[in-house]
Structure 1
Amino acid sequence: MMKRRTYLKAFVFMSCCLSFINILVTLQAFRGLENNDKVVDLLISQKLVNALNNGTLNSRNKIESARQHTSETGNANTVRRNNSTKSEIDSVNIEKNNNNTKQIQPENEKKKRYGSMYRPLNFVPNTTHDKSHMVPYLSNDIMKKYLALPESNYTQRVMILTPIRNAERTLDTFKTQLASLSYPHHLLSVYFGESGSTDKTFEKAQMISQDLKSLQNFTDSRVINLKMAGGIHGNDNFRHKKEFQKYRRSFLANARNRLVRYAFKHGGVFDHVLWIDSDVQEFPSDLVQHLLFARSDVVATSCLVKSHEFKGIYDCNSWRETALSLKHQSQMPQDELVLECYAETERIFLPYLKIEGRIVKLDGVGGCALMVKADCFRSGLLFPEVVYKRHIETEGLAKMALDMGYSVVGLPFVEVFHKKRS
């Protein structure tokens, strides 16, 4: 009986010693893991913890095997030190890897996949189904490829028309952009159409017009008082409320039509009309050359806005119809106005058509930077002041142009940048 007790005590003692040795070996293994911050696999680490608690790892070989597997998992996210609590470990986002673990991306990480100013994409993505209104930055090599222009001896005369109201603060920047145009200035004219301003827009535009003629050698530059009462006043957010759009855009269409009629009466001979909004703060110096390169009756550019290192769509009026959008419109009355940017779109916006190349077909156009052949206006094309096929103003012009047999295209790689809404 005494011998049995002695053997039992010896066995218990040896078991305790072995357990203690196993714990020391396991802790040593964890110290090795602790220094491998870049490649720690959360699942393997959790197995080690469970194994330690259950006493199932009883040899150095098993621990070394786990360490080797951990070091081979090169694309796992970094996990906190091994003294982290379980809640801290569970809160770590794990990137999807060979273990099929799922990554939960923060919002900034999601944005980066679109291509930022500092991380441009080296390929043209297919964004035709994108609903985010974000537009990827592309690398300089990609942009140069799609913006290359042939050498040409330009002779076509271009009339730049710009409606203005309460634009005093933006006109200096606009003047700088106009002066930087590389198209021969002696082939350019600029007419401003002012109406209803409550600041010194008219006086400011007159000073700019004089400089464009005397200092920049533009053929002609004038400021015309369109003598129009009414319109929607207030900041950008107020003026863009949905309930105001039918009246607001009818007023804009009227202003555009008056301005172009004045240009035809007093502006001499010209081949193209280029509409540029005065609050477009940045456009390429070769803008006119790109628009002429399209060789189309109606040509629109992508109108965007910059936000920190990202850019997004500003003008939602340049788009292409889809089967779904046409189906829904077929069920609407002809005089019902369809507006973009006030609900999820059923169309494809111009900036998302890059995958198709540098010139793409459109069904609607915006007016931020829009070129129309002068002969189109001479033949009766205008900006509808009432709803035309469920559209008005610039979008209505595109619908009317297509009905008249004219071509309507967009340049998704040519980007102009509007000021942010106030």
Structure 2
Amino acid sequence: MKILVINSGSSSIKYQLLDMENDSVLASGVIECIGLEQGILTHKKAPDTDAAIKIVVEQPIPDHAVGMHLAVDALTHPEHGVITDASEIDGVGHRIVHGGEKFTTPMLVDQSVIDGIREVADLAPLHNLAHLTGIEVAQSIFKCKHVTVFDTAFHQTMPAKAYQYAIPYEIYEELHVRRYGFHGTSHKYVARRTAELLGKPAEDLNIITVHLGNGSSLAAIQGGKCIDTSMGMTPLAGVIMGTRSGNVDPAVLKFIAEKKGLSIQEVEEMLTKRSGLVGICGMSDMRDIHSAIEKGDERAKLALDMVCHRVRQYIGAYWAELGRVDAIVFTAGIGENDDIVRLGVLKGMEPMGVILDEAANAKRAGEWARISTPESKVDVLVVRTNEELEIARETVKFVK
């Protein structure tokens, strides 16, 4: 069974074709700069193998329909393609950023689902409307079942005490202002994979998943269900990220706006695109920050320390919520690859039963690795996330 996973953005389309007989990636690609003067298609055949083939096509891509047809051309090309015809695709899974309170599980696409995604689009206007465009174009090409998988769905098991804001209740009722959380597909996949690796039912485990990348979030997962997560109504909340501030005192927005003569939109743009790591030290890539620290850059050191401090705070809070922690799991770009950040986050947790194996932590994890010692009372793992595989698996359920 072949499943195509699509993530349609406002000016891009990411895709991955998977063979669900063995969960292998047949091809992947990204179409960028849609609607600009010059677009780019980057396509990879068998990207995870030694026989990988990469091609790059540069041409004007005026809209998503042209972009999607380019992807089909690449997937069916005699040399770097992996199928002969679009009809070989058995199902299409669509990543949707925001499902609001309306969508708590993956859904088979029909008119009511399309209307529902549009209804909650004001919670993520740039993303959801682009997703709808992607669905419309894909449905015109691929005559199979289409499934939506929502980033927010996994966190919909949070109790009201965790997702409510302490604002007038009628604001929540009218505008649905609450905490939703994001990266849910990643947290769900990693938690399930952790249970498999530990050889225990997910229902018996309490896990803290630590998704650290340019965007970062943590989740407290009890018995396979999320009971709390660090992001809020938007992905701006929580820990410090590449360009996002994470949590700040809400009154800071008014203070900065008045002192700097900025609108609320301009302050939000600052907190979203010019804060976080880049705001502290001018760099958003953790590799650059480590290099700067080695050269004595004090602000780079401050940025690293702040990130580790905030992540450790959330781990402590979720530990208190869960009562017992069986595993702490790092994932995503920084979580999977940055041993310095992992060490900084876990440093000093030995009295809590977390004992890091520094030699194991310093090695490349690959698909997964245990980086705690046998004496550690809590398993500490690094698990490579795979959101596309999770979306594909959910799509298969509907196709079958």
TM-score, length-scaled by structure 2:
0.25
Greater radius of gyration (CA)? 1
More strand by share: 2
Relative contact order, CA 8 A, sep 6+: which one is greater?
1
